[in-house]
């Protein structure tokens, strides 16, 4: 009797949901980062969908998702409350609303997978439907979450492996979605070993052996490919042309960053650190973080000091700054403001600039402003920006720079399109001071690692308060800085030119999974209608 009660407790939907949430919390980077748990973190949810009704699967998936995303996104309260100036009674509910929205995708996964299995008419069909549908359905929903409502693909499961390059080399085939797909497959196999024979009316059919064997062969192929690809890219890195650059991490406090009285000291900080970085005599490119220049360069005389620095040092300087354009055809003239990256050449001229395209909602602009007037403090200090449109790389005298500003590094398409357009070095300018000392800077680093591996490009991160570093095309991290410390990172980055399969076609893996999952659901519901 006691064993039955324990079993009932373990198999309860709430217990399974809490177990998955706990495993995910321990597996993801920063607080614990025990990544092997990713191999089993979803198995409780799989068991939930296999053994309970669709309604219970929906609620269990939602509960697991809410807890998971509250733990994953708690830094939202820091960004909105401490640095954004909003009271706790706005920032805390904002975190809860965002977590509930993100959890809808987990809930939908559990519900649809449960429906797929319950509506199967034979044991063979049930096994095939459950095993084959799960990874495609999970990736389909991840893909949608990255697109809908401007998209927030924050820390999909595959990103949890960022510190282990040998495990993520297949990202150059299908992007980070393929790595997540592999994790779901492993969870399925472990679920079969642990729970499949304990399910009520567990179907026993020969197709299970065929399916699991296929999954094992798939994993063996991916493992062999990853090893071979890692070795080949390592050799290409050694033989490639290299660029010598320096990243300047100024560590300017967010509380003082936009204070007019502090802009001179900010420029002095970056100028002095740049002089130190140039002492080796080999530096060809200096990189400053997002909005390292805390004023509009077109109208502020202090920008002359920065132009003189580039000219006297004979370097190219890439620096983040607010930028504006003026339309004189309207009366009165109208202005557009951008969060930009400026390329200043060795003559001290701005030769090119990139305007950030994927702006942070409620951080760099307020959607539906008239409905959210109380969120104005979030943007009043840095301006209400417009999105840019160009995906052309910036041409320095040594390479072509594909620039990603701030959290643009979490969107695979931007880095891919810039690589397609000729970028041979990716650069992520960011200001992670908004996150404070939290998990978010480690998460943004993790996602940036995949942009390098997917496109087989070196990626340089220049962060105001860290983490700054070089990410090699293999995913290895070099020169990683500490948070909230001024630092100089001297970088020798290999410049690869070949376009990966992901850059050319592999980015379609996410839409392909969405198509397969959609067809599977359409056929299922069509069959249900015909039977009724």
Are the beta carbons of 95 and 76 closer than 8 angstroms?
yes
* Cα angle value 426/427/430 (rounded, 5°): 145
H helix or E strand, kind and range, residue 430: strand 425-430
Q: Is 256 a catalytic residue?
A: no
- Residues 51, 117, 208, 290: which is the catalytic one? 290
From the list 406, 408, 454, 472, the catalytic residue is 406
Which pairing describes strands 316-327 and 425-430: parallel, antiparallel, or unpaired?
unpaired
Q: Helix 43-51 crosses helix 13-27 at what angle (to 10 degrees)?
A: 160
For residues 213 and 190, what is the distance between their CA atoms, to the nearest angstrom? Answer: 13
- Annotated catalytic residue 469: no
Return the structure tokens found at 275: 């002089």
Residue 138: CB atoms within 10 Å: 27
Choose the catalytic residue: 356, 399, 454, 513: 356
Residues 202 and 123: their CA atoms lie apart, in Å, by: 8
Decide: residue 130, CB within 10 A, 0-12 exposed, 13-18 middle, 19+ buried: buried
End-to-end CA distance of the chain: 41
Cα 200 vs. chain centroid, distance in angstroms?
Answer: 39
The residues, any chain, with a CB within 8 Å of residue 92's CB and separated by 6 or more, are 77, 81
Residue 347 near residue 306 (C-beta atoms within 8 A): no
What CA–CA distance (Å, rounded) separates 320 from 339? 8
- Give the C-alpha separation, 365 to 359, whole Å: 7
Residue with tokens 């979030």: 378
Please confirm, yes or no, whether 329 is among the known catalytic residues.
no
Residue 248's SS3 state is strand
- 347 burial type by CB count under 10 A (0-12 exposed, 13-18 middle, 19+ buried): exposed
CA distance 23 to 157: 12
DSSP state, 41? T
The residues that are catalytic are: 290, 356, 406
């Amino acid at each position: 009797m006691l064993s039955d009660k324990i079993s009932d407790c373990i198999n309860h939907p709430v217990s399974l949901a809490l177990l998955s949430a706990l495993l995910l919390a321990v597996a993801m980077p920063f607080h614990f980062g025990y990544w092997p748990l990713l191999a089993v973190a979803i198995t409780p949810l799989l068991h939930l969908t296999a053994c309970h009704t669709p309604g219970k699967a929906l609620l269990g998936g939602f509960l697991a998702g809410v807890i998971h995303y509250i733990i994953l996104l708690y830094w939202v309260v820091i960004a909105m409350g401490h640095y954004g100036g909003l009271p706790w009674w706005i920032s805390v509910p904002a975190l809860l609303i965002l977590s509930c929205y993100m959890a809808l995708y987990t809930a939908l996964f559990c519900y649809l997978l449960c429906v797929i299995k319950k509506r199967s008419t034979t044991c063979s069909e049930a096994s095939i439907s459950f095993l084959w549908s799960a990874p495609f359905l999970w990736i389909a929903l991840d893909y949608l979450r990255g697109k809908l409502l401007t998209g927030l693909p924050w820390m999909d499961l595959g990103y949890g492996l960022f510190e282990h390059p040998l495990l993520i080399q297949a990202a150059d085939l299908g992007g980070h979605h393929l790595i997540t797909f592999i994790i779901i497959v492993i969870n399925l196999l472990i679920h079969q070993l642990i729970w499949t024979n304990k399910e009520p009316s567990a179907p026993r059919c020969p197709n299970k052996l065929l399916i699991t064997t296929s999954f094992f062969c798939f994993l063996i192929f991916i493992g062999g490919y990853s090893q071979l690809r890692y070795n080949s890219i390592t050799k290409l890195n050694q033989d490639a042309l290299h660029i010598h650059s320096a990243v300047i991490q100024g560590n300017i406090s967010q509380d003082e960053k936009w204070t007019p009285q502090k802009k001179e000291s900010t420029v002095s900080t970056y100028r002095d650190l740049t002089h130190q970085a140039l002492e080796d005599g080999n530096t060809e490119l200096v990189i400053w973080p997002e909005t390292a220049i805390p004023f509009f360069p077109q109208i502020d005389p202090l920008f002359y000091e920065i132009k003189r620095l580039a000219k006297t040092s004979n370097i190219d300087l890439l620096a983040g700054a607010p930028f504006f354009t003026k339309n004189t055809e309207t009366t009165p003239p109208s202005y557009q403001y951008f969060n930009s990256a400026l390329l200043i050449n060795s003559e001290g001229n701005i030769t090119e600039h990139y305007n950030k395209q994927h702006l942070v909602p409620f951080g760099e602009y307020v959607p539906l402003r008239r409905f959210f007037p109380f969120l104005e403090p979030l943007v009043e200090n840095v301006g209400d920006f417009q999105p840019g449109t160009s995906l052309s790389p910036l041409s320095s005298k040594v390479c072509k720079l594909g620039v990603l500003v701030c959290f643009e590094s979490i969107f695979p398409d931007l880095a891919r399109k810039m690589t397609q357009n000729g970028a041979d070095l990716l650069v992520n300018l960011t200001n992670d001071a908004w996150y404070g000392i939290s998990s978010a800077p480690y998460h943004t680093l993790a996602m940036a690692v995949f942009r390098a591996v997917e496109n087989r490009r070196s990626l340089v991160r220049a962060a105001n308060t860290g983490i700054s570093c070089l990410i090699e095309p293999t995913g290895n991290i070099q020169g990683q800085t500490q948070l909230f410390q001024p630092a100089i990172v001297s970088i020798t980055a290999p410049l690869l030119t070949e376009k990966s399969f992901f850059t050319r076609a592999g980015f379609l893996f996410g839409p392909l999974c969405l198509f397969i999952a959609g067809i599977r659901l359409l056929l299922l519901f069509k069959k249900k209608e015909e039977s009724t």
